[in-house]
Chains A and B, each alone.
Chain A
Amino acid sequence: MSENIDQKTLAYINMYGVLGSLSTLCDTVPEARKILGQTGISVGFAVKDGPRATLTFIGGRCIVKEGAEDCTIRIPFSSPEKFNGMVNGTVTPIPTKGFVHLPFLLGKFTKLTNLLETYLRPSAEQLEDEEFFKNSTAVMFRLIACSVAQIANHDKIGQFSASNIVDGPILLEIKDFAKAALIAKDHRLTYTAKVPKTVMSYMQFADVKTARDLFDGKINSVAAVGDGLVRIGGMISQIDNVNRILSRVELYLK
């Protein structure tokens, strides 16, 4: 069975999931902060019929915000396909605003995205380093959680799953390591790293290794519930449907 992926959904994943993961990278990996230094600059990506967002780099951090109006450099894309091409390296971005800042795009930004790729597609050797393993898993966790929201909101099958999700926050957690929430409202999901005090349901991975094994497809979440490595609770219909969307994340991130 082969399935075509939806380019618009992929663009949202690339924008908020992949590029959005620069925020986690900068927060967790010292090398990323070192690359940025004290740079203060914002890059807006405006995709026709797709996502529009701005990455603001300031004080060694990266902040992602919706909208591409208020930015130092603006890069327009005529279609989701073109934007996806930039992310996979087949399309060269041409800014319409902020030419003077081109060195940032070609220098620090490229270095940063290359570093991100290292953490998202690590080698087995790199994962043997405990610190790298943890940071890579933290970045992956954010990417996957954020991608669930994009698939729920834009992918046809993801939208079907979301249509069966009742309102309320869903907690995704790697125990004692990382947390994120998906806020369900009117059958749309919003990713947030700020977890509300009370949630409607939760899916908790026992530890970083379990999470990594799940991300890498080495273990299955249903089987892991039986082993006690994945704990679920609350409104299980939410978790059930998030789990169905999770199974589509791999399709988009391959």
Chain B
Amino acid sequence: MAHEIYTYPKSRELFTRAARFIPSGVYGHLGPAEGCFIPIEAYPLFGERASGSYFWDADGHRFIDYMCAYGPNILGYNDPDVDEAARKQREKGDCMTSPSSVMIDFAELLVDTVASADWAFFAKNGNDVTTLAVMAARAYTHRKKIVFFKGYYHGISAWTQKIDYAGIIEEDVVNNIYIDWNDAEAVERVFAENKNEIAAVIAQPYMHGNFKDNELPADGFWAKLRKLCTENSTVLVVDDVRAGFRLDIAGSDHYFGFEADMICFCKAIANGYNVSALCGKEFMKNTISSMSYTGSYWLSAVPFAAGIACIEKMKKLGCPEILIAKGTKLKKELIKAAADVGWDLHVSGIPSLFYLRLADDPSLMVHQEWIAECVRRGVFFTSHHNHFVNASLTDEDIAETVSVAKEALEVVKLRHPEL
């Protein structure tokens, strides 16, 4: 049976209203430009509600959601255990003059859970903690330079952006050194050329850049980075904001067999409640203590309670393993569906964070058409970014996803007899 084709009159109406008073209507990664809504008519612009693996848009359409709010939804939207913990804490107090002791409970839990954590510092967004990590590395080493891997995303502060971005001046990024992921020789060269100058190396656990296949670390790459950082007294920062808890409950550094000096978490840490955490080794703790770094809502108690419930449930479920298994099942079936129409679907990255690319058209236009046809039929994929699997995704959801993907592939194949 053919799947219903969605249209979005209510979304459009809301967007028109939004654009009058909000710059670009919906800005950032949830918006149509950064979100690569190609063509825009295929995508919902506003959500109404969410539950489990689904969200419903303003027009009442249900989507199986493989973006999971770009990561926060790891157990399923509105997880009852997390929401109950949050509700109970809200009744007691949230944003107060003195922080709740639930903050200590959360820090203790993170230290017990994350392999490289001797302490935890809390904020709100991933950018808050990546910025703290870089500032702390500079404070600890009294050095300026930071090494990045091309294709990175570490947030939106000036130091994370590039010289050609609006509002960025040369001085914001003059101490940034960019090298290619998995280029061990470049790492060695950069350390040799900048002796006693590199404060930190910051990296995601593997390269999940946009518009290209995601790239796992080459054999020995992380070990080499770890060794060079240690030998050069450079702080090794892992930005686990995106991948955190989807590879390994103990941190993605643990998954790849090394220890970060500091590791950044956000997104999945509290199943959608707004909290982020920087965890690190004992030797960095005094430096962090010395820093002037805080925010109005950073010590609110409700997200801490939600985070505790989320991490405990993830541990109980064996969450990363479940997500990887679900992602692997979906990956295999999608690859087969594409092969059935004679196309070559590349699925890269760890399956709990899979990235899709139809390799038959290097321009990605056909890929964008396929993704758009999936979205129109109720499966929310994106054409540019890695996806996120959540624990509430069922075998039935996967079967429905594959059915939609097949139909969408057939529709697009008919348009492109040349491929």
A contact set with B: CB distance below 8 Å: 1, 157-158, 160-161, 168, 198-201, 220, 222-223, 225-228, 231-237, 241, 244-245, 247-248
Contacts and interface: CB of A to CB of B under 8 A. Distances in A.
Interface stretch (B29-37, B66-74, B105-113, B343-351): B29-37
Given A226-B31, A233-B368, A161 B26 contact: no
B5 interface: no
Contacts of B208: none
Contacts of A199: 363
B163 interface: yes
A36 B72 CA distance: 65
Contact of A236 (B24, B31, B211): B211
Contact of B384 (A158, A222, A231, A236): A236
B363 A244 contact: no
A198 B36 CA distance: 21
Interface string B35-65: 0111111000100000000000000000000
A201 B361 CA distance: 12
A232 B372 CA distance: 13
A234 B365 contact: yes
A160 B173 CA distance: 12
Contact of A226 (B19, B166, B364): B19
Contact of A223 (B23, B45, B169): B23
B19 A227 contact: yes
B88 to A, nearest CB: 40
B91 interface: no
Interface string B151-174: 000000000001111100100000
A7 B23 CA distance: 34
16 contacts: A168-B362, A168-B363, A200-B362, A201-B363, A223-B33, A225-B33, A226-B33, A226-B40, A227-B25, A228-B40, A231-B38, A234-B368, A235-B363, A236-B364, A236-B384, A245-B164
A226 B24 contact: yes
Contacts of B41: 228
B42 to A, nearest CB: 12
Interface of B: 15, 19, 23-26, 31-34, 36-41, 45, 162-166, 169, 210-211, 362-365, 368, 384
A160 B26 contact: no
A157 B211 contact: no
Given A226-B15, A234-B363, A235-B364, 16 more contacts: A157-B163, A158-B164, A160-B162, A160-B163, A160-B164, A199-B363, A200-B362, A225-B32, A225-B40, A226-B19, A227-B19, A233-B38, A233-B39, A235-B211, A237-B210, A247-B166
B93 to A, nearest CB: 40
Contacts of B384: 236
Nearest to A231: B39
Contacts of A232: 33, 38
Contacts of B364: 234-236
A198 B39 CA distance: 19
B365 to A, nearest CB: 5
Contacts of B163: 157, 160
Max chain B CB contacts within 10 Å: which of A158, A160, A198, A234? A234
Contacts of B36: 236
A200 B166 CA distance: 25
A233 B25 CA distance: 20
A148 to B, nearest CB: 13
Contacts of A220: 24
Contacts of A157: 163-164
A223 B38 contact: no
